[in-house]
Amino acid sequence: MKSINILWGWIFAMVLLLGVSCEDLDELNINPNGVAPETADLNLLLPTVITSLGQNIVNLGFGDIAGVMQHTQKDGWTGGHNRYDWDDQGHNWSGWYGIARNNEEFYKKAVEGNFEFHQGAALVMRAYTFGMITDLWGAAPFEEALKAEESSEFFKPKYARQKDIYESILKDLEEANTLLSKPAGDYMNIDAKQDVLFNGDASKWRKLANSLALRYYMRLSEKEPDFAKNGIQKIASDPAKYPLILSASEDATVSYIGSSPSDSWPTTTEFENDPSGSYMRVKMAATFVEKLQEFQDPRLGVWANKVSIPLKIVDGNEVDRIVDGVREISQDIVDEFEESNKESNIKVNTDPEYVGLPTAVSAAQIYNLTPDIGQGTFNPHVSHLADMYKQSTGSMLLMRLMAASEVHLILAEAAMKEWISSSPESHYEAGIRESFKTWGVENQFDGYLEQAPYEGLESIITQKWIASWSAATEAWFDYRRTGIPDLKAGPNAKRQAVPLRFYYNFDNEISRNRENAETALGWLEPTQYVGSDPNNNSAWAKMWLLQGTGKPY
């Protein structure tokens, strides 16, 4: 982890992003509002790319995708989070292409100056950014993207097939590994203060490049198993040539400054007077809480507060009172509440410590007999997020790009498949241990494996799901590939299945580039859950990566 100690670097990043976050693809090389990246100093562009990428990861992984993966649920403004109530007017990729544009300028400057460290870092960020775009949407502009200033023929770029994008980003990561393999003294023009990820350490960037390659090879393991196997074997069999992130101390993370809403943790209450603000709307999800309780997992106490006032069922009728900090209620009160919410199958939960919100219920704001039924309000009978998530910055409030826990669990899966010779149990244990280190509970690891033993793929992916807290997009991508964990859409969800992708945005991605977008829509495969979504443009249509795999449904 590297703290950001230069406020003006963040301000520069935010100004640059303002200029590109809402641009059409044929305008991504025009920045009328901010500092033009083509005239900016090379080193100043690096924190712009890193921080904007990191914020996007957090905003999804701690935002709506945390709802999809049932880490959290909301009891206010719940649509996209709890219910997957998405459509073709929702998510769009302008912000991601804005990152790609800034990174392209950074890369060009690096090539022009023959700065190999910067070239390697740019290739890593390009792979990460386009990897996220194709992971989220499927086919997307790639080879012809970001070339509008070269020729008008690129104003409406063709969509690249998803397979081609994955193969290209893996080539970028291979090249980055080579560029970043030299002794530190061989690199020029590094401003360590501007590298808010690794402080100018090429060896750490190299480990990130190879760890990302491992991620994407495993992403392809169901669709292209031989290709994935060969790639993973290449990396795992030669640690000298392909070093990896294997210790939590090397996790790819960036801190928030915390001086304004734009550079703070997204649920901070320090700049928000609304009592029904971002922090108060988000509660722990029952699915996640109950799995952590099953494992007696100490990370639960790091991420969540205990219920403020436990519920206890007592004898009698019409009993509803607070005694010694416990709300005592009689069974008739419980029965009345459950009967009035029987369509959502809501049950009163009397766990004395942690209670999560059920998935996509219609009455989330009144759950568990809360006395305040407003949206996004304090609920004394449900677990709120830990108090640290009210802060703007902190040692655990980080943009998490890649973690050692994920790398070990990928290796555990590869070993389970007998693609590599090491023990799946050893990597499984190491993955959990590194996650415990990340969250400050390593001293509670002893005995944990008795509660959560290694039992093959399900245990591996379940632990990746847990370890991806605040970075839940990676858990989503694993779920699509494996069907693990076995998540059920709630009664009020838009479809009775977890979504698989983002819709192409009609205004941003279809109407302005219709011919190419319609070609890409033709590459999608509908499932039984697409409902009334037209032209295959559905969150429940399968991208190339999932077609023919039988996963997750």
Cβ neighbours of residue 342 under 8 Å, at least 6 residues apart? none
Residues 504 and 510 sit within 8 Å (Cβ to Cβ): yes
pLDDT of residue 15: 41
pLDDT of residue 296: 98
Residue 3 has pLDDT above 90, yes or no: no
- Mean predicted confidence (pLDDT) in 451-466: 98
Rounded Cα distance between 402 and 390, Å, is 24
Beta-strand relationship, 326-330 and 311-314: parallel
Q: Is the peptide bond before 552 cis (omega within 30 degrees of 0)?
A: yes
Which candidate, 152, 139, 133, places its Cα nearest to that of 26?
152
Which letter does DSSP use for residue 509 in this model? I
- Mean predicted confidence (pLDDT) in 101-110: 97
Tokens 């949407």: give the residue: 137
Residues facing 193 on adjacent strands: none
86 burial type by CB count under 10 A (0-12 exposed, 13-18 middle, 19+ buried): buried
Which candidate, 47, 38, 73, 470, places its Cα nearest to that of 263?
47
Helices (H), 299-441: 299-303, 331-340, 404-416, 424-438
pLDDT of residue 11: 41
Tokens 């943009």: give the residue: 399
Confidence of residue 343 (pLDDT cuts 50, 70, 90): confident
Cβ neighbours of residue 547 under 8 Å, at least 6 residues apart? 223, 525
Lowest mean pLDDT among 149-153, 304-308, 344-348: 149-153
The single-letter code of the amino acid at 456 is G
Distances (CA, A) of 281 to 225, 247, 529, 553: 41, 34, 28, 31
DSSP states along 28-78: TT--SSS--GGGS-HHHHHHHHHHHHHHHHHHIIIIIHHHHTTSEEESSS-
Residues facing 399 on adjacent strands: 254
pLDDT of residue 22: 35
Q: What HEC string does 220-236 produce?
A: CCCCCHHHHHHHHHHHH
As separate numbers, helices (DSSP H) first and strands (DSSP E) second, the chain gives 19, 11
Residues facing 322 on adjacent strands: 327
Which letter does DSSP use for residue 307 in this model? P
Where b means 16+ CB within 10 Å and e means fewer, 311-347 reads beeeeeeeeeeeeeeebbbbeebbeebeeebeebebe
Residues 332 and 318 sit within 8 Å (Cβ to Cβ): yes
CATH of region 7-40+89-263, choose from 3.40.50.1370, 3.90.700.10, 1.25.40.390, 3.30.70.360: 1.25.40.390
Rounded Cα distance between 372 and 362, Å, is 16
Where b means 16+ CB within 10 Å and e means fewer, 230-262 reads ebbeebbeeeeebbbbbebebbbbbbbbbeeee
Residue 18 has pLDDT above 50, yes or no: no
pLDDT of residue 150: 83
Domain boundaries, the chain: 7-40+89-263, 280-390
Residues facing 304 on adjacent strands: 385
pLDDT of residue 2: 45
Orientation of helix 116-137 relative to helix 473-482, angle to 10°: 60
Which candidate, 514, 508, 513, 516, places its Cα nearest to that of 160?
516
- Percent of the chain exceeding pLDDT 70 equals 93
Confidence of residue 36 (pLDDT cuts 50, 70, 90): low
Rounded Cα distance between 247 and 413, Å, is 18
Q: What is the pLDDT of residues 293-333, one digit of tens each?
A: 999 999 999 999 999 999 999 999 999 999 999 999 999 99
Rounded Cα distance between 500 and 188, Å, is 43
Rounded Cα distance between 402 and 246, Å, is 11
Q: What is the pLDDT of residues 60-80, one digit of tens each?
A: 999 999 999 999 999 999 999
First to last CA, the chain: 38
Q: What mean pLDDT is reported for the chain?
A: 93
Q: What is the pLDDT of residues 497-542, one digit of tens each?
A: 999 999 999 999 999 999 999 999 999 999 999 999 999 999 999 9
Residue 30 has pLDDT above 60, yes or no: no
Q: What is the pLDDT of residues 170-198, one digit of tens each?
A: 999 999 999 999 999 999 999 999 999 99
In angstroms and rounded to an integer, the radius of gyration of the C-alpha atoms of the chain is 24
Residues 382 and 283 sit within 8 Å (Cβ to Cβ): yes
